Amino acid sequence: MNADERRFAVLRAIVADYVSTQEPVGSKMIVERHNLGVSSATVRNDMAVLEDEGLIAQPHTSAGRVPTDKGYRVFVDRLAEVKPLSGAERRAVHTFLEGAVDLDDVLRRSVRLLAQLTRQVAVVQYPTLTRSTVRHLELVALTPARLMLVLITDSGRVDQRVVDLGEVLTDDDVAALRTRINAALAGRPLVAASAAVAELPEQAPAELRGVMTAVVAVLIETLVEHPEERLVLGGTANLTRNAADFPGSLRQVLEALEEQVIVLKLLASAQHPGTVTVRIGEENEAEEMRSTSVLTVGYGGGTVLGGMGVVGPTRMDYPGSIAAVHAVARYVGEILAGR
């Protein structure tokens, strides 16, 4: 291997050993543990170059070196292939998520699973309504003068509303309403669906106009984006496992995680299903998160419905965590697409 490849192998060895032992890594340890086929003196020279480049640093009290944020970045950028989950892990993920009964359950289970697989904090955003498409609207007559509307979107989201009509409907009236509304709604993104529904009362036959107006008013309220984006968070206790990973700032990190706005901003960058974005230390915009690494990915089939990811110390198992985030997002996308 050439000098550049060899130096990267030394960096990779330092990252691997520091992540697993929490101890600064010396040249002797690298020669003993990693079969690089070179002498201790060569490794020491390579470490001097890596240190000059700002990829590793020497903590004051130790002869060994630790990776810097910049070192982790070079390591992550050169991960040629993400270590895939083992067959057993993949089956466990699939079985655990398949057992979910509804959207809430799918997301709660994903968070638990991600936190267990990565031993970090896991976070999942509820599907953003603006990115959803209406699959179907079901109308159910509870009494001749009360209807239940059940709106189903492609993200598996179900909204139910009851409408008091103030007049009595026949089964034929209900069927006519259902047909007209679904013709306007089905297959449309929510923003377009909202506009199409608003025009329905004018187009309805005179005898249905009053009822249609009442139904449409409730529907538009349901379709307009709910401002309070919801998040599911899990595994916060994982961060407290080693407070030394967050010099003086673990409390800051925990408080930042409680701020939904900060977490939603982190997830906002997760626009591509299948591509895990890694932000390391100083690359995080929010000052409170600069001792952490944040891995995010979009989930959903063709359309990204929301983001998910993990937050942990910069000293984390990047290949394993990236693989877990990638796999869980893929399964969640498949499950929601299949509902």
pLDDT for 306: 86
Handedness of CA 24, 29, 30, 34 (dihedral sign): negative
Quick: pLDDT tens for 242-260: 888 887 778 889 988 888 8
Q: Quick one: average pLDDT of 103-114?
A: 91
Provide the pLDDT for residue 204.
86
Q: How far apart are CA 24 and CA 43, in angstroms?
A: 15
Annotation: CATH topology of 87-128+229-338 = Beta-Lactamase (3.30.450)
Query: pLDDT value at position 152?
Result: 85
Location of each CATH 3.30.390.10 domain in the chain: 130-223
Please state which CATH class domain 3-77 belongs to: mainly alpha
Instruction: Give me the pLDDT at residue 30, please.
Output: 93
- E-strand spans in 38-119? 56-57, 66-67
Distance CA 162, CA 164 (A): 7
- How many Cβ atoms are within 10 Å of 105's Cβ, its own excluded? 12
Digit-coded pLDDT (tens) for 310-337 = 999 999 999 999 999 999 999 888 888 7
Residues 242 and 313: beta-carbon distance below 8 Å? yes
Architecture of the domain spanning 130-223: 2-Layer Sandwich (3.30)
Whole-number Å distance between alpha carbons of 258 and 197: 37
The pLDDT tens digits of the residues spanning 21-70 come to 989 999 999 999 998 889 999 999 999 999 999 999 998 777 899 999 99
The two beta strands, 306-313 and 292-299, are antiparallel
> What pLDDT is recorded for position 42?
93
- Mean of pLDDT values over 90-112: 87
For residue range 168-189, list pLDDT tens digits in order: 888 888 899 899 999 988 888 8
138-148: pLDDT as tens digits: 888 888 888 89
Neighbours of 16 (CB within 10 A): 18
**Confidence at residue 47, expressed as pLDDT on a 0 to 100 scale:** 95
pLDDT at 295: 95
Q: How do 306-313 and 121-125 pair as beta strands?
A: antiparallel
Q: Which amino acid is at 67?
A: P
Q: What is the pLDDT of residue 145?
A: 86
User: How many other CB atoms are there within 10 angstroms of residue 246's CB atom?
Assistant: 19
Mean pLDDT of the chain: 87
Provide CATH 1.10.10.10 ranges for the chain. 3-77
Q: Give Cα separations from 114 to 96, 101, 211, 277 (angstroms).
A: 12, 19, 47, 16
What is the Cα–Cα distance from 216 to 195, expressed in whole angstroms?
A: 11
Cα(294)–Cα(43) distance, rounded to whole angstroms? 31
Phi, psi of 205 (to 5 degrees): -60, 150
Residue 227 has pLDDT above 60, yes or no: no
Residue 78's CB: how many other CB atoms inside 10 A? Answer: 10
pLDDT at 89: 85
Q: Which residue has the higher pLDDT, 241 or 129?
A: 241
Query: DSSP alpha helices (H): ranges in 171-259?
Result: 171-185, 190-198, 200-203, 206-223, 250-258
Parts of the chain belonging to CATH 3.30.450.40? 87-128+229-338
pLDDT of 3 over the 80 cut:
yes
Q: What is the pTM of this model?
A: 0.76
**Which is higher by pLDDT, 107 or 160?**
107
Burial of 328 (0-12, 13-18, 19+ CB in 10 A): buried
**Short-list 219, 207, 139, 213, CA closest to 168:** 207
Angle at Cα 333 formed by Cα 331 and Cα 334, nearest 5°?
65
Specify which residues 309 forms β-bridges with.
123, 296
Q: How sure is the predictor about 225, in pLDDT bands with cuts at 50, 70 and 90?
A: low
pLDDT at position 333 is: 87
